[in-house]
Structure 1
C-alpha cells in the first residue's frame, strides 16, 4: 500500500525558474512557461551583403544559453547571418510547433523525434541525405532519422537515460554498490531512509518525465519491444496482463512512496533545483541535466545508474541511450541553404565539436568527434561506460503512436495522484494505445 504523501509548499527554487536554462543577456527574454525567444543581432554584416535570418526552434532548454553563444560565434564568421533562437519546455514544444506551422510561422530549423516523429513531420522536412556530415553519423543514430531511405534529421548528441544519483549521499547511507535488481533497490531506499536522506526527487507535475522517461523503462525491457508494440496494435498483446508493466509499477510505487515531496508538485525546474541542493539522492533524467546541475552546485558527486524493475540483473543492469531528437530543416524555408550551412558548421567544425562536447556536454553522434571525459561530465561518462560493457537498451518512445507519450504521462499522473489504481491505469494505457495506434 502506498503511503500518503504530504502536499508540499512550492519550493523557493521555483523563483529561479530558468536557472541555467535561459539567457541573462539583454537580447533574451523569458516568461513563466519556460519559453525563451532570443534574437542574436549581427552588427558585422557588410553593406554589400543581404542579412538573412535563421529561425531555430529548440525543445531543450538546458542548452539555451550555450546555443546563444554558439550563434554568436557562428555569426562572427558569417557576417550576413542573423539567428533567432526560441527555446520551449519539452511539455509545451509539440503543440507549439504544430501551432507555428498552422499559423504560417514555421521555423527554419526545428527539433523532431525520430521514427514516428519523423513520419509525422516528413512532408515538411528537407531531404538532408546529401549533406557532408551524413557519412560521419554513428550508424546507430541513422535509422530513427531515415524515411524511405533518406536522411531527414541531424543528431546533436547521444543521450543516456536512467536514475541520476548522488554518490556522497549513497556513501553517507552506507550503500557501497549500485543496485542492479529491484530487491537491491528496495534495500538501498531503506538505507537512505534510515540515514535520514530522502531517496527520490520525483517529478510528475508535467507529462514529459512520466510519459517519455518513466514509461520507457517498461517498453524497453520487453523481450522484443518492437514486437510488443506491434502486438498491442494487432490485439495480440496488452498492458493489463503484461508482467513487465506490472513489475514496473512496483518501481513507480517505490519511488513515489519515498519521494522528498509530493511528486505532483515537482516540475522540471523544481526537480533540477531540489536535486542539485541535495534534497534527495536519486532522480530520473538524462545526462543532459549535467550542465544545469553544475551551474547550481558544481561540487555534486554524481553517477548514472539503472532502473531495476525486477530481479533479473542481466535485464536491468543497463541504461537506455540513443538520439532522442534530431534537427530538421523546413523544406519550404527561404533560407534552407543557409540553414544547411549552419548545421554543417555545427557538425564538422572544431567550434561545433567544442560546443557539442564541452558546452552541451553531449556524447557526440559523429565518428569524427571525440569527447574528453573530464569535459562531458560524469553522467555522460557513465552512459558511455555502460554502453561499452553491455548493449544499451533503446529510447522506445519515438516508436509510439504520434502524441501518445504525453497521454501516457497524464494517465500516470492520475495514478500518482491516487485518482486511479493499477488495474485502471493499465486499462487506460490500453485504451489510449487503441485509440491512437493508427495515427
Structure 2
C-alpha cells in the first residue's frame, strides 16, 4: 500500500498544480474520441501515388476516420504480404483480389455485400468471379481492356490508315513503320503478368471454345504443338520480337511504357490502365487500341475484364466503417469523380456520368470495341494454380533462345496436364 501511495502522490501534486488552461487541455484530451483507423490494401501499383490521395479526401468529409491506403504490386508478393499482415494482427479492413483464383484464398474472410446499396448499380456479369452460392463477396471497381496500344501520330506518319486485324496485316504495318525509321513494338517481357497472363490469354481466348479448350488441355486431349491458335500465338510473339526493342526480357513495365510515351516505339502490349501515366507525362498523346491477331482470320477484338475486386474483411474491427467508405467511394460525387478524373478508371457501375475526355483516348477506343461487341474474356483465372508465373518463365526462356517452339508449347501443355493429375483447379 505504501508503494502505491508513493506513486500516486507525485501524480496528485502534478494535477493539483495544473493551471486552469492545462486542466482544459487534459479534459479535452480525455474527451477527444480516438480516430477509427481504416486500412486499405490494394494491388494496382500503377495508380499507387494517386490512390493515396483518397486519404485526405475521405478524412476531410469523415474527420473521425484515419484512412490508410497501402499498395503493393505483383500478385504473388501481394498475397504473401496479405498473409503476413493477417498473421501479425494487422489485417486490412478492405483488400483487393483479382478474380477466381485469388478470391479462393480469401473467400472465408470476405464480407457479404450482395444487398448493399452500391451493388444495385454494378454492371451485370462483372461479379461472377466473387459470387458463391448466389451471394456476392466483392465489388468490381473498374473495367479494363488490353491489346496493342498504338501511337496514332506515328501511324499517321507511316501512312497506316487501316487497323490491322490479321497477323499478316500486323506484319505489314510493322514493316511499314520500320521502313520509316520507327520501332514498331515496345516490349516489356520482364513482367510475368504481361507474359503468363495477358499474352498467353491471347492463345486461349482465340480458341473457338476457350472453356472447352481449357478442360481438354487438363485432360491431355490437346497436342499444343498441333493446335492452330497456339501455333499462331507463337507466330505473334515472334513478330513482336522481330520488330521490337532490344533485350525485351530485361525491359520492365515502366521502361516499356516510357519508351512508348517518348515516341520511341509505335505499339505496345498494354491496356487502359496506362492512361494515367500517359496523361501525366504526355497529355497530348493520342493512343488507340489494336487487336492481337494470331493468324490471318479476322481477329478484330480486344480483351476485357475486371482487374480488381475490393473485399471487405468480415473479421475487421470496423466492418460498418468499411461499408460506409465503399458506399461513399461508389455513390458520392466526390468518390466517383476521384475514380474517373484522378485514377482514369472505366467504372464497373452504371451510376457514373462521365465524358470520354475524362478518361482519355485509350478508354474511348476501348468503348468503341465494347459497344460493337468486339471483346473477348480474360481466362487466366481458370489456369492451373501458379501456372501464369511458370508460363512466363517458359516464354522468357524461348525469347532468350534457351528452348525452341516445341519445347515452349509442350512445357505449357504439361502444366495443365500435371494440374489435372494432382487434382488441382
- TM-score (structure 1 length as normaliser): 0.86
1:201 CA drift (Å): 0.5
- Alpha-carbon spacing, 1:239–1:343, altered in 2? closer, same or farther (3 Å): farther
Q: Is the 8 A contact 1:66 1:355 kept in 2?
A: no
Query: Cα distance 1:98–1:426, how it changes in 2: closer, same or farther (>3 A)?
Result: farther
> Among residues 183, 186, 198, which one is paired with 2:183 in the alignment?
198
In structure 2, the partner of 1:366 is 349
**Contact 2:58–2:67 (8 Å) recurs in 1:** no
Q: Which residue among 386, 391, 400 is the counterpart of 2:383?
A: 400
Deviations along 1:253-302, one digit per CA (max 9) or x if unpaired, are: 00011112210121011112111111111011110100101112222121
C-alpha contact 2:44 2:72 (8 A) present in aligned 1: yes
1:435–1:334: structure 2 CA closer, same or farther, 3 Å change rule?
Answer: farther
> Residue 341 in 1 paired to residue 324 in 2?
yes
- Residues 1:221 and 2:202 are matched in the alignment: no
Tell me by how many angstroms 1:95 deviates.
Answer: 3.5
Change (3 A) 1:215 1:47: farther
Q: Which residue of 2 aligns with 1:97?
A: 82
Query: Contact conserved, 2:141 with 2:347, CA < 8 A, in 1?
Result: yes
Computing the radius of gyration over CA atoms, which structure comes out larger, 1 or 2?
2
Shift of 1:203: 0.5
SS of residue paired to 1:133: helix
Q: What secondary structure is seen at the aligned counterpart in 2 of 1:140?
A: coil
Work out whether 1:50 is the aligned partner of 2:40. Answer: no
SS at match of 1:180: coil
RMSD of aligned residue pairs (Cα, Å): 1.8
Question: By percentage of residues, which structure has more helix?
Answer: 2
Shift of 1:238: 4.3
Q: 2:401 maps to what in 1?
A: 418
Give runs of aligned pairs for residues 86-165 of structure 1, distance below 5 A.
86-90=70-74, 92-165=77-150
Aligned to 1:216, what secondary structure does the other structure show? Answer: helix
Gaps spanning 5+ residues in structure 1: where? 1-44
TM-score normalised by length of structure 2:
0.88
Q: Give, in whole Å, the separation in 2 of the partners of 1:258 and 1:171.
A: 18
Instruction: Name the CA distance, whole Å, in 1 between partners of 2:216 and 2:249.
Output: 32
Task: Give the 3-state SS of the residue equivalent to 2:224 in structure 1.
Answer: coil
Any idea what SS the aligned residue of 2:113 has? coil
Q: Does 1:233 align with 2:218?
A: yes
> Is the 8 Å Cα contact of residues 159 and 322 (structure 1) preserved in structure 2?
yes
With over 3 angstroms needed to count, the CA separation of the structure-2 counterparts of 1:232 and 1:99, relative to structure 1, is farther
CA contact (8 A) 1:46 1:80 kept: no
Cα 1:69–1:197 change in 2 (3 A) is same
Q: Distance in 1 between matches of 2:30 and 2:176?
A: 65
Q: Deviation of residue 366 (structure 1)?
A: 0.7
Count of paired positions: 393
Task: Tell me the equivalent position of 1:19.
Answer: none
Deviates more, 1:165-174 or 1:122-131: 122-131
Gaps of 5+ in 2: 1-28
For 1:151 and 1:268, locate their aligned partners in 2 and report how far apart those are by CA, in whole Å.
33
The answer to whether the Cα contact below 8 Å between 2:171 and 2:239 also exists between their aligned partners in 1 is: yes
